[in-house]
Amino acid sequence: MSLLTYTVTLNETGESYRCAGSRSVLEGMEALGKKGIPVGCRNGGCGVCKVQVLEGQYVRRVMSREHVSEAEEAEGYVLSCRIKPTSDLRIAVLGNMKKSVCRTIEPANSSPLSST
């Protein structure tokens, strides 16, 4: 079990969070407290938590090839429930996860309730 923690930065929003090396990147993301982060099976079989690691190192566990092909993996695509950081990471969120992460970011001068 790793006692080290690493910074994981979300490319789309610039937000970052600390993730223990003993936890999956998805578990760390859940600790952000954002509502609507899609979580599926947590075992690499559903593909809901697919991300692309843009920078950094990690260890990975078995992932379904139905959701991450060998070619995608070579480009940094992984399931966040199946990787643990071994350095700081910068990740791009994809699909439903991207919609959930990015919709909670509102420009400072706008209100979702305002009308014209």
Q: CA-to-CA distance for 68 and 9, rounded, in angstroms?
A: 21
Of all residues in the chain, the percent with pLDDT exceeding 70 is 77
How far is CA 31 from its chain centroid? 11
Residue 1 has pLDDT above 70, yes or no: no
DSSP 35: T
Domains, the chain, in order of start with CATH, read 5-103 (3.10.20.30)
Q: What is the pLDDT of residue 70?
A: 94
Strand 5-10 to strand 58-60: parallel, antiparallel, or no bridges (unpaired)?
unpaired
For residue range 68-109, what is the model confidence (pLDDT) as tens digits? 999 999 999 999 999 999 999 999 988 777 766 666 544 444
Q: CA-to-CA distance for 81 and 85, rounded, in angstroms?
A: 11
Residue 48 has pLDDT above 60, yes or no: yes
Q: CA-to-CA distance for 80 and 40, rounded, in angstroms?
A: 11
